Amino acid sequence: MSPSRSLIALAGALCLAVATVPGRAAGAAAPRFGVLQQAALQSPRALSATMLAVAAAGKRLVAVGERGIVLLSDDGGARWRQAATPVQASLTAVQFVDERQGWAVGHLGVVLHSGDGGETWTKQLDGLQLPALFEQAARTDAAAAPAYRDYVQLLADDGPDKPLLALHFQDAKRGIVVGAYNLALGTEDGGATWTPLSARLPNPRSLHLYGVAVSGASIVLAGEQGLLLRSDNGGRDFAVLESPYRGSWFGLLATRGDRLLVYGLRGAAYVSADRGLSWSQASTELPVSISGAAELADGTLVLASSAGDLLVSRDQGRSFQRRDGPPQPPIAGLVPTQDGALALAGLRGPQRVDLAAPPAAR
C-alpha cells in the first residue's frame, strides 16, 4: 500500500480539512470511537463549519459536514440553522429521495437516516457493526467468503474506521453506500438492514470508491486511479468500464437523457451518452481538481473545484466556462435551489450563489 493511499479527499478534492484515512501500517494508533455515541454539539459556530455535501429535500436544503454537523435552510440558502444529529463523526455525503426521507454517510462507516426532512436523524450503521456484517456475508456466500474474511481481518487490524464517501438511493427502500478500500453495502429496506457488496466489485486492489450514480437501469461507481464499474442487474454483479483517464475520479452525476458526467483530478471531466461505454472529454481548462457537479432545471451543468471555481456548461457538458469574478472558498459539493441559484458546501460553511447575478467584488 503506497503512502498516498492513506489520504482521501473527501467529497472530491477537499483534502484540506477532515479527510485523513488511517493507513494500514502496523502499530497505528487506534481511533477513538466515542464520536459514534456522542451527539453533535449545538453551537452558533456550526454555521461556519466545513460542509462537505449539500442536498435538496423538497424545498429545503440540507448540508452536512465536519463533526457530525447538519445544517438546514428553508429559504433557498439565505439563512441556515443547525439540526440535531446523534454522532460527532464527520459526514461526507447526503441525499434525499423526497421532502422527508434522506440519508447521510461519513467517517467511521456511519449511515444516518432522517424521516422528517433532516430535522432529526437516527444512526442505522457504523463501523463497529461492519465486522459482524462481513462475517455473516462470508457464512452465507461461499464463493465470496475469502474476500469477506479478508475484509474482516482488515477491520481487525486497523479498527472499523473506514469512511463512507458516497451514496445513492433509487427510492425510499433501495440504496447503495460506498467508501474507502472498496467498502460497499446495499439495502433493500431503507437502511434497516445492510448487505456487503464489496466482493461483487472487480476491484482487486481495493481502490477507494468516491462516487455512485444511477443512469437508466445501470449503477455506476467511480474511484481511485480511473476506476469505473457498472452493474446492469441491480448491483448483483459489476463489470469494469474502460476509463478515459487514469487519475482519480471524485464523483459522478447522472443527468437528463441518461447521460453521465464523471469528474476528478486536475480538471478532468468526461461525459457519456451510453452509460459509460464510451466517453467524450469535456473542456474545462482547469488545472485543479473538480469536487462537485450539479444540473440546473434548464439543463445547465455546473462544476465546482477545490479552489472555489464554478464552471458552467450549456452544451450538455461538451465545454465549460469559468464563472467570472473572485472564486468562492474551496467547494466540496453543490445543489440547485428552487429559485435557480446554487447552494454550495465548502470550507466556510454553506454559501448561496445566484448564477444570474453579476459576481460580487471581494
Three-state SS letters, 51-107: EEEEEEECCEEEEEEHHHCEEEECCCCCCCEECCCCCCCCEEEEEECCCCCEEEEEH
CA distance 127 to 32: 12
Q: Domain residues for 208? A: 122-354
CA quadruple 290, 7, 102, 349: dihedral sign: negative
- Span 110-139, mean pLDDT? 97
Nearest to 283, CA basis, from 270, 302, 266, 299:
270
CATH, residue 271:
2.130.10.10
Counting every residue written for the chain, the total comes to 362
Please answer whether residues 276 and 215 qualify as being in contact, where contact means their C-beta atoms are separated by less than 8 angstroms. yes
Least confident span in 16-30, 44-58, 234-248, 325-339: 16-30
Which amino acid belongs to residue 224? E
Q: Report if residue 166 sits inside a domain.
A: yes
pTM above 0.85, yes or no: yes
Q: Report if residue 49 sits inside a domain.
A: no
Total count of domains within the chain = 1
- Residue 215 pLDDT > 60: yes
How wide is the angle at C-alpha 108 spanned by C-alphas 28 and 87, nearest 5°? Answer: 130
| 165-207: pLDDT as tens digits | 999 999 999 999 999 999 999 999 999 999 999 999 999 999 9
Please answer whether residues 92 and 51 qualify as being in contact, where contact means their C-beta atoms are separated by less than 8 angstroms. no
Q: Report if residue 72 sits inside a domain.
A: no
Q: Report if residue 96 sits inside a domain.
A: no
Q: Report if residue 53 sits inside a domain.
A: no
Give the pLDDT confidence score for residue 136 in this predicted structure: 95
Give the pLDDT confidence score for residue 253 in this predicted structure: 98
> How many of the other CB atoms lie within 10 Å of CB of 88?
20
Unique residue bearing C-alpha cell 471555481: 309
Give the pLDDT confidence score for residue 358 in this predicted structure: 59
Sorted by sequence, the CB contacts under 8 Å of residue 48 that are 6+ apart come out as: 348, 349
Strand intervals (E) in 306-353: 310-313, 321-322, 331-336, 342-346, 351-353
294/28: higher pLDDT: 294
CA distance 350 to 355: 16
- Residue 54 pLDDT > 60: yes
Question: Given its phi and psi angles, is residue 191 left (phi above 0), alpha (psi -120 to 50 degrees) or beta?
Answer: left
- Residue 4 pLDDT > 50: no
For the packed helices 145-158 and 130-140, what is the interaxial angle rounded to 10 degrees? 160
Mean pLDDT of all residues belonging to the chain:
90
Helix ranges, 125-167 (H): 130-140, 145-158
Q: Report if residue 86 sits inside a domain.
A: no
pLDDT band for position 5 (cuts 50, 70, 90): very low
- Gyration radius of the chain's alpha carbons: 19
Q: In what order do the strands lie in the sheet containing 249-255?
A: 249-255, 259-264, 269-272, 280-281
C-alpha distance from residue 119 to each of 46, 273, 362 (Å): 15, 38, 34
